[in-house]
Amino acid sequence: MRVVFEKMNKFVVLLMVVGLLVLLAACGEDADASEGEDGWPDKISYGVLPGEEDSEISRAHELFVKDMSEELGVEVELFQGEDYNAVIEAMRSKKLDLASFGPFSYIIAQERSNAVPFAVRAKSEEDATYNSWIVVPDESDAETLEDLKDKTILFADPASTSGHLFPRGIFIDELGLKNDEIESYFSSVSFSGSHDNSILAIAAGDADAAGVCSTCVERAIDGGMVSESDFRIIKESEPIPSSPISYRGDLPESLVEAIKDFVYNYDNETYFEQAGDVESRYIPVDESDYDIIRDTAENLDMSPEDLLSN
């Protein structure tokens, strides 16, 4: 009986081992269930910055991800960030695979989230820039930057290139201010949350000045949000490289190549019309194109963390 019992024990142990191996194999299959062929995820998330959720460009984003999904054979989900930092952090936590960043928010995303730029929307390489404008309400008596002393000013977002970084640099360069003197130069410095919010505030006379992107103002005029008679431009920045689409650096190489092939050859005219320029297309960019942004941030003597904490 003892021999039989020992044999039964060995048999039970063997069954337990086999069962454990089967369970581990099943868990392994579940772990890989979210990945398809070549390590591709079953779903890709594409992030965009705030301030455009009610505009025609929002419909353009939806069309873009729909077309990308059909081309890649993978579901592509659109993510609208509550603020610039939300998009950066979503990529850092791997909730985003792709994102359309502003130039400075890309610089931060490169450091924090391993973002890699690869394309901008433009008519040509020469046209792949825009400007930051300091604008005032049309009825304002301010004609120069000096006239804005002790006035109120709006910036768009701490991580905005043309809505914070470059306007801040303009006051430093033109007026000889130090970075830590900006807040005391004005009676109030606030962040509106988006370029659209800043533009609407200026049109309504709710702020004395604002730093905004030139293309954002042009789009707001074209969309009927404001008119040219609602504001005046009192200062324009040097050209700024356009906002890049970036991917997370740890994506499968074959997926990155497929995404690039889609974006570089994308020619849906409805999309480009809704995005603001039917004649534009996506053209390649690389990290070095954004050295001017790095240099500007360095000249402010502030780290991304410092700028984001404003």
pLDDT digits (tens, 9 = 90+) for 114-144: 999 999 999 998 889 999 999 999 999 999 9
191 and 110 in a common domain = no
Which of 191, 218, 240 delimits the end of a domain?
240
Q: In this predicted model, what pLDDT tens digit does every residue of 183-195 receive, in sequence order?
A: 999 999 999 999 9
pLDDT at 210: 98
Domain presence at residue 26: no
Which has the higher per-residue pLDDT, 302 or 249? 249
256 and 195 in a common domain = no
259 and 224 in a common domain = no
248 and 163 in a common domain = no
* Full-model pTM: 0.75
Residue in 251, 250, 205 with CA at minimum distance from that of residue 232 = 205
Report how far residue 291's alpha carbon sits from residue 310's, in angstroms, rounded to the nearest whole number. Answer: 23
Residue in 297, 298, 288 with CA at minimum distance from that of residue 166 = 297
Q: In this predicted model, what pLDDT tens digit does every residue of 73-112 receive, in sequence order?
A: 999 999 998 888 999 999 999 999 999 999 999 999 999 9
Segments forming the whole domain that contains residue 220: 129-240
Q: Helices 103-113 and 84-92 meet at what angle, rounded to 10?
A: 30
pLDDT at 50: 78
**Number of domains observed in the structure of the chain:** 2
